Amino acid sequence: MLKRILALLGVAALLGMVLLTLFLAVTGSPYFMASLFAMIVIPVFIYGYMIILRILSRGQKDRIRDILEQGADAGDMEEKED
């Protein structure tokens, strides 16, 4: 439920950025280029952050699995020594 609310807030923020950029373009504001830049760069950064987070979390799961397997192997070796 929290993810859905955050997703809707994100969509509303992006829609607001688009409408603000459109308004600034129509009025000829000097802030139009800054708004256009932010409208393009912010979603790209968010997308890149999501990709990096997905890669890092996948690697973390693999590391945890390797540690658990090594721990199980070490436990087998201790039992064999006894």
- pLDDT tens, residue by residue, 17-41: 999 999 999 999 999 999 999 999 9
Q: What does the pLDDT read at residue 19?
A: 95
57-67 pLDDT per residue, tens = 776 767 777 77
Alpha carbons within 13 angstroms on the beta-carbon side of residue 1 total 0
| pTM as predicted | 0.60
Residue 55 pLDDT level (bands cut at 50, 70, 90): confident
Contacting residues for 36 by C-beta, under 8 A, at least 6 apart:
21, 25
Count how many domains the chain has. 1
**Structural domain boundaries, residue 59:** 2-81
